[in-house]
Amino acid sequence: MVDLHSHSTASDGSMTPEELVAHALERGLSVLALTDHDSVAGNEAAAAAAAGTPLRFIPGVELDIEWRPGECHLLGLGLVRPSPSLEALLEAQVAERNGRNEEIVRRMRADGIDIDIERVSALSGGKVVGRPHFADYLVSIKKVRNRQQAFDRFLAKDRPYFIDRKGIPLDQGIEAVVSSGGVPVLAHPLSLYVAWGRLPEVIKDFAGRGVRGIEAWHPAVRIVEAERLERLARELSLAVTAGSDFHGAARPDRKLGRTAGRRDIDDRFFTESLEALLEEGARLVL
């Protein structure tokens, strides 16, 4: 059993990198990729925790790519060492996120809410501050009853405190991953919100620009959709990957090592093509 998409406290997961590795070992995983959002901060600690264990650890990242109308996320799997271009992109994303958080604070203050970023940060437990922590703050001051109501009324798209994220251009994201020795993989393709009839054309374009695989199996899709995405990947000679998109307590419905249809993630998603691509990527930078 493997898992090629997971998150730690270095982004929006609830487990530290060390705890995530321990959980993977408890679950009996043979391969685990850590793919935190716009961050590689957890990879070193996770690699150290996995050293000397039966678990093969894959350092990774998940980049937020500029795309409309849906979301485009690019997994970088098997990073050998972050290149200057990847480091620059991640630094820019941190600055953009901080600016977005400051604008949320400004809007809340304008509406008479007593708030500052320090109090929101305290609720994050040391994690990267994001909308869920603003939601928790609204709960703490009894502005709403729960986190879901905070999103529904204030923080979801088209609500008063929603600030759209600025993504990374796809070509820059691909180059940053490749120059770091990694393999660019399109995460959860249905999040693009592209009709099935047009999806092959879009993914073929991505492949022509350097994407080497697609995450066909993801817990947000049905089995029939995952199977259709897998067929499409094979038609385009792309690697087929699978992940849980595990976040721990932040998303309790998602279990490490399980994907669409609550199926265990078979080793084949690593051994059939991704393993060879990782070795190829590593050779390019070593």
Domain ranges within the chain, ordered by starting residue: 2-82+181-285, 84-179
What φ, ψ does residue 184 adopt, rounded to 5°? -80, 125
Domains 2-82+181-285 and 84-179 share a fold: no
What is the structure's pLDDT at 76?
A: 98
CB contact burial 186-197 (16+ within 10 A = b; e otherwise): bbbbbbbebeee
Q: What is the pLDDT of residue 132?
A: 85
Rounded to the nearest 5°, which phi and psi values hold at 32? -135, 130
CATH class entry, domain 84-179:
mainly alpha
| pLDDT of the residue at 15 | 94
pLDDT tens track for 169-228: 999 999 999 999 999 999 999 999 999 999 999 999 999 999 999 999 999 999 999 999
What is the distance between the alpha carbons of residues 178 and 74, in angstroms, rounded to a whole number?
12
AA letter at 61: V
SS3 of residue 55 by DSSP: coil
pLDDT at position 166 is 85
For residue 61, what pLDDT is reported? Answer: 98
User: pTM for this one?
Assistant: 0.91
pLDDT at 257: 98
pLDDT score, position 245: 97
d(CA 181, CA 122): 36
**pLDDT per residue as tens digits for the range 47-58:** 999 999 999 999
Mean pLDDT, the chain cut into blocks of 10 residues (286 residues total)? 96 93 98 96 98 98 94 97 97 92 97 96 82 93 94 93 92 98 98 97 98 98 98 98 93 95 97 96 87
Angle at 91 between CA 89 and CA 96, to 5 degrees: 95
The per-residue pLDDT for 201 is 98
Which option is the CATH number for 2-82+181-285: 3.90.1300.10, 3.30.420.40, 3.40.50.800, 3.20.20.140?
A: 3.20.20.140
Residues in CB range of 275: below 8 A, 6 or more apart: none
* pLDDT the model gives residue 14: 87
